[in-house]
Amino acid sequence: MPDTVSGKRDGDTGAYRVGVVGAGYVGLTSAACLAHLGHRVTCVDVDEPKVQALRGGDVPISEPGLPELVAEGLREGRLSFGSEHAALASADVVLLCVPTPTGPDGDADLGAFDRALTGLHGTLAPGCAVVIKSTVPVGTTERAGRVLGLPAVSNPEFLREGHAVHDFLHPDRIVIGTADGDAADRVWRLYAGLDAPVLHTATASAELAKYASNAFLALKVSYVNVLAELCERSGADIAEVTATMGLDERIGPAFLSPGPGWGGSCLPKDTRALLRAADEAGVDFAVLADAVAANTHQHDRVVTKVREAVTGSAGGSLAGMRLGLLGLTFKAGTDDLRESPALVIAARLAAEGAVLTAYDPGARGTARPEHVQLVDDPGLVAKDAAGIVLLTEWPQFRELDWAQLAELAEQPTVVDCRNLLDPASLTEAGFTYRGLGR
C-alpha cells in the first residue's frame, strides 16, 4: 500500500536547477510552472525553430495561462530554452517529457524516449535525479535509470489539455514511483508549495497508474454513450439519467456526457498500451476491449444519426449533400486535432460523398483537415447546408444567432453530438433538433 503524506511543505523554499526534455504540452507546461514555483529551469527540444520562438516568448500551443507563465519565466531569468542536452549538465533534476505515441504493434513507441536517453547519457551530473513524466510501459523507468547510471523516478503527469497550467499548480495528487529514498525526497521537494496528497509508490505502480486512470475515463465515456443509445430506444432522457447517477459520490458527474466518442492525444494511445500490456501479461482485459469497440460503434451511430436527420432514412445517400460541422478539435479549449472523434466522423461523412464545411474557434491556426473546408465564420457553415453537425462542445456555439443560421441553411436541421444546445431554443429558431440519448 502506498505511503500518503501531506503535499503542503510550509517554509520549504529551496530552488533546484531543473532540466526539462521536450517542449510539448507536458514539457512546456512543466517548465513554465516549475519556474513559476521558483526553480531555475532549462527546457530543451530538438525542434530548433520551436526553441527560437520560445526564446522570444512565442508559445506554439493553445493553453490558457501558459504564454503568461513563459513570459514571466523569461522576464525573471528563471526559464531558458535550448536545443542541446549539454545545457542540462549541471541540473539537479531532469524531467523527460517526450511523446510516446502508439507504435505499429499497439504498444508505446519509445523511439523519441530512447533518443533522449542517448542524448543525456554521459551528460548529467552524478546524483542528478531523472524524472520520467512521459507515459511509458512498466519497467521503462528502471531501464532509464540503468542506461543513465542515475536514480530514476516515475512521476506521471495528469494534465488535461485546456487546463494544463491549472492542473499542474492545483494537482489532485502527486505520484512518486521509486525505491530510491533520496530521489523521492528530491522530487517531493520539487513541488514545494503545492497543496496535494503525495503518493510514494513502487515504480511499476506509478507507471501503471497513468495508463489505468486514462483507460478508466475512456471506459466511463463508452459506458455513457451506450447508455445514451439505450435511453433513445426506451424513451428515457440521458441528461436526467446521468444527473441522477452523478449525485452518487461513488460515481461523480465527470465524464458522464454523451458525445461522438473519445479521442485526443492520451486516451486512445494509453488504452491501446494498457490492452497490449495486459495481453503480454496473459490478462484478459475484456471490459476495456469492449470499451474500445463501443467507441468505434459510437462513430457509426453518429454517422447513422446524421444520415437519418438529413435524408429521412438510416440508409439514405449523403452523396453531394452539403453539411456544416461545428467543432473539429477533440474537445473545447484546445487546438489539438490528434485522434479527434470529430475528424473521424468528418472522414466517414466525406467517404459517403458529403461536402463538408467546418468552423472551430480553436483550430483556425492549424493545418486544414483533409476533405473539410475550414472557414472562419459560422455563417458559412450554415449557408446552403442540408444539416449542421455539432461535434465539439465549445460554449460559444450556444451564443450563435441560430435564427439567422436557420435562414441561411437549405434544410435547418441540427445534430447536436454533445447535447450542448437547448432543444427548445433551437426549435424556436426554426431548426429540427436531434441530440444524443433524448
432 and 315 within one domain: yes
Residue 365: pLDDT over 90? no
Shared-domain flag, residues 286 and 338: yes
Q: What is the pLDDT of residues 375-403, one digit of tens each?
A: 999 999 999 999 999 999 999 999 999 99
| Residues ≥6 apart with Cβ < 8 Å to 64 | 162, 163, 165, 166, 333
Report the distance separating Cα 312 and Cα 166, nearest Å. 45
| Cβ-contact 367, 374 below 8 angstroms | no
The pLDDT > 70 percentage for the chain reads 96
Task: Tell me the CA end-to-end span of the chain in Å, nearest whole number.
Answer: 44
- Residue identified by cell 543513465 is 148
The answer to whether residues 246 and 312 belong to one domain is yes
**Residue 303, all three cell numbers:** 454517422
Q: Cell digits for 20? A: 526539462
Which range, of 165-174, 316-325, 368-377, 423-432, averages the lowest pLDDT? 368-377
**Residue 393 gets which letter from DSSP?**
-
Contact 217, 242 (CB under 8 A): no
pLDDT at position 366: 63
Domain termination residue (choose one: 152, 177, 200): 200
Single out the catalytic residue among 33, 43, 266, 417: 266
Residue with cell 510552472: 33
Q: Among residues 153, 142, 167, which one has the least CA distance to residue 66?
A: 167
Distance CA 14, CA 54 (A): 26
Same domain, 50 and 180: yes
Q: Do both 157 and 58 map to the same domain?
A: yes
Same-domain check for residues 292 and 143: no
Question: What domain range is 371 assigned to?
Answer: 202-438
Q: Provide the pLDDT confidence category of residue 42 given band limits of 50, 70 and 90.
A: very high
Catalytic residue check, 417:
no
78 falls in which pLDDT band (50, 70, 90)? very high
**Cα distance between residue 225 and residue 256, in whole Å:** 9
> Is the same domain home to 165 and 227?
no
CATH number at residue 322: 3.40.50.720
194-234 pLDDT per residue, tens:
999 999 999 999 999 999 999 999 999 999 999 999 999 99
Q: How many domains does the chain have?
A: 2
Co-location of 263 and 219 in the same domain = yes
**Rounded Cα–Cα distance for residues 245 and 256 (Å):** 9
pLDDT tens per residue across span 120-137: 999 999 999 999 999 999
User: Do 206 and 339 belong together in one domain?
Assistant: yes
Tens digit of pLDDT for each residue in 261-281? 999 989 999 999 999 999 999
- Domain boundary (167, 200, 233) is at 200
Q: Which of 148, 174, 200 finishes a domain?
A: 200
**What average pLDDT does this structure show over 40-62?**
96
Domain identity same for 224 and 323:
yes
CB 95 within 8 A of CB 19: yes
Same domain, 216 and 175: no
Q: Using the predicted structure, report yes or no on whether residue 165 has a pLDDT greater than 50.
A: yes
CA atoms within 13 A on the CB side of 317: 3
Is residue 94 domain-shared with residue 232, that is, in the same domain?
no
